[in-house]
Copies of this chain bind each other. A is one copy, B any other.
């Protein structure tokens, strides 16, 4: 048997053909039964003892295909289903799990086979007996019935009743259902899950429905086994979760059979095609849509004519419009204080403030409400606009809203569909008036700038992406990014979609590339040295040039300002104009290097697995160099991308993979280590605790003429926030309040002025809240459940460590 965990693909190693599915192995937790791993083994090692009274649906090998979301539990449920079948029958079993490379909310397909004969099929299920579609919207996005066998079964999670469902089905599906005599069942698992309290996790309901329809084993046995698995899977999450899933098992019986009208057989329908209401670039229709609908491997080589070097256009996530949110924020203008905090914290750049002229207000789609701008924007009308199809529905925006009465309320996606066109109007027609207020002055101002990182495939509520988004708003047009493999490389570049985009005004945006854990800091260092050398060469040429008049003056201006961000931009424009007409070798050589005229910002991105562990040697080497380079570490305290393995950033007491009995050593203090150089700018930040402190830190880091290291606390799905991923910003605040995490900045420039370089931004903590904080995250509470005695000791130690570290910082601050 092959069963899978999660594996994220970086854009580097994703080819269209690979895109469709990634397989991987996971050692079974039941080795005594001969579950083994590996293509060869699964077909031979699963001879389970015969049992009696087992009904089976079909003779030969049964093939099932289940379409789901990365976050709805489909894969987990199917892993359990195949285990149940394997353990309660003497059947041979096989399971493959295919994913796209979205972090969560992405596409998954589970391919299950079982039967009485050895299964020799090391390929995906192409002729399913049974198809389940767990996501209603997929009927328009994927060819879910592709290859289904005659007389097979199709189970659809439908939010519509029978009649509405029939209407919504695309013609090609109707025809297949009728032609192949498919048994068609629907269940409103979305509604049931929400009612039970499971959110969008429809998995157990759909699993139960599968057992009812497929009847592989007697239903009573299936129910008993599903319950066992529920205890095993969710036991450590608490009794509530177990009970909700028990209810889901029961609700799985609530299926409705839909009769197929005979006339559907004669419908004149083309095959499957992605439906688009708006015009999209050729790349989107001929490459991206095809890949996204899991048909990438069918693309002929000729599709890539002109793209042979592997270059994909950037800024393409905006065409995905995934619509994966259950609820999205609705803006309530009368409550809004125009602080823009919601936009600042949005992990997906799906909520943005716009400033409209009167004309723009007039031309807006009907029903568009605005309010009068305040302060420097009072000449304009203000609107906070949500892109509801790009929103993932986490709710952090509404949660951070500081208005007396919240100006954002989470509403079902279906109720907000009018915002779709409104979004297009704002983004494309109204645009980003970031020239009205200087964006580098305040958090509020910065949000009028266009984010050059949008709609990534990161998890809903991701703690990392808001940090990146803000960086692109301030520096994006002149940014070079070296991105370590990990979550940030997966959501940063998942073929075919790229969230990094260009400014509508300048057509400039971040240049981004991904390298590995073990050399990413060095990779960025190479970029920095390369840019430096090119610019030194330009300076050399300009110093050699014997020009006069405007050319000479423009060259002087450039030389005087080459290291000053804004000024170098102006000087570069002037220089290009001044020398473009010259018939002069030096002018030609300078123009050939014109991309390097404007000062560049080199940023190195990565997580704690990279910066604290595997790539630390490189991080250290690069900061030691003294070169002007900026590093941001998104610290989730575990290897997030691979599923939460412990790193040296994992604190005492936290449960993580490889630290199942709680981490035993103190969290490494990466920042303190970097500070020992004395010439490295260092900051620890947590945006949710202080939006302004983060804002200051990135500006100081960028301005510092040497290496900078920012360590950003980032809550993550691996933490198991009991309050949910809609509270990641709040969690950051709580972490800083009890000094689970300390915010500080160390600026060597202050020392040159005779001041203390270290500023402790965290306030005197309320230690009484420390244990409460730990109790708010499953990575800690699960230790309490499984090893209560150890947990007591380790949690006390965790608090002592936090105090020890905080005292050290206080001493530094008073040095």
Binding site for B on A (CB under 8 A): 613-614, 616-618, 620-621, 624-626, 648, 664-666, 668-669, 672-673, 676-679, 804, 811, 815
Contacts and interface: CB of A to CB of B under 8 A. Distances in A.
B676 A672 contact: yes
B677 A624 contact: no
A432 B708 CA distance: 56
Nearest to A665: B626
A666 B648 contact: no
Copies assembled: 2
A51 to B, nearest CB: 39
Given A616-B617, A672-B676, A673-B673, A624 B804 contact: no
A621 B613 contact: yes
Contacts of A668: 620, 624, 676-677
A85 B575 CA distance: 54
A699 to B, nearest CB: 25
Contacts of A665: 624-626, 679
A669 B677 CA distance: 7
10 contacts: A613-B621, A616-B620, A626-B664, A666-B678, A668-B677, A672-B676, A673-B673, A673-B676, A676-B676, A811-B815
Nearest to A626: B665
Contacts of A815: 811
A666 B672 contact: no
A666 B677 contact: yes
A648 B673 CA distance: 14
Contacts of A804: 678
Nearest to A672: B676
A213 B677 CA distance: 58
A213 to B, nearest CB: 51
Contacts of A614: 617
Contacts of A672: 676
A801 to B, nearest CB: 8
Contacts of A621: 613, 616, 648
A324 to B, nearest CB: 39
A669 B673 CA distance: 9
A620 B626 CA distance: 21
Contacts of A616: 617, 620-621
Contacts of A648: 620-621, 624
Nearest to A627: B665
A677 to B, nearest CB: 7
A620 B624 CA distance: 15
A620 B676 CA distance: 15
A624 B659 CA distance: 14
A672 B812 CA distance: 14
Contacts of A624: 648, 665, 668
A673 B623 CA distance: 13
Nearest to A679: B666
A110 B792 CA distance: 70
Given A624-B665, A668-B677, A673-B673, 8 more contacts: A616-B620, A616-B621, A620-B620, A624-B648, A626-B665, A668-B676, A669-B677, A673-B676
A807 to B, nearest CB: 9
Contacts of A625: 665
Contacts of A676: 668-669, 672-673, 676
Nearest to A625: B665
Contacts of A626: 664-665
A435 to B, nearest CB: 40
A620 B617 CA distance: 9
A169 to B, nearest CB: 56
A624 B678 CA distance: 22
Nearest to A618: B617
Q: Which of A617, A625, A811 has the most CB of B within 10 A?
A: A617
A524 to B, nearest CB: 17
A708 to B, nearest CB: 15
A776 to B, nearest CB: 26
A356 to B, nearest CB: 51
A682 to B, nearest CB: 12
A479 to B, nearest CB: 25
A613 B664 CA distance: 27
A677 B669 CA distance: 7
Nearest to A801: B678
A665 to B, nearest CB: 5
A669 B680 CA distance: 13
A519 to B, nearest CB: 11
A749 to B, nearest CB: 15
A668 B679 CA distance: 11
Nearest to A674: B673
Closest 6 CB pairs of A and B: A617-B617, A672-B676, A673-B673, A669-B676, A626-B665, A624-B648
Contacts of A811: 815
A626 B613 CA distance: 15
A677 B670 CA distance: 10
A613 B618 CA distance: 9
A634 to B, nearest CB: 20
A665 B621 CA distance: 12
A810 to B, nearest CB: 10
Contacts of A613: 621
A782 B385 CA distance: 66
A815 B673 CA distance: 18
A555 B643 CA distance: 44
A468 to B, nearest CB: 25
Contacts of A617: 614, 616-618, 620
A618 B613 CA distance: 9
A679 B668 CA distance: 11
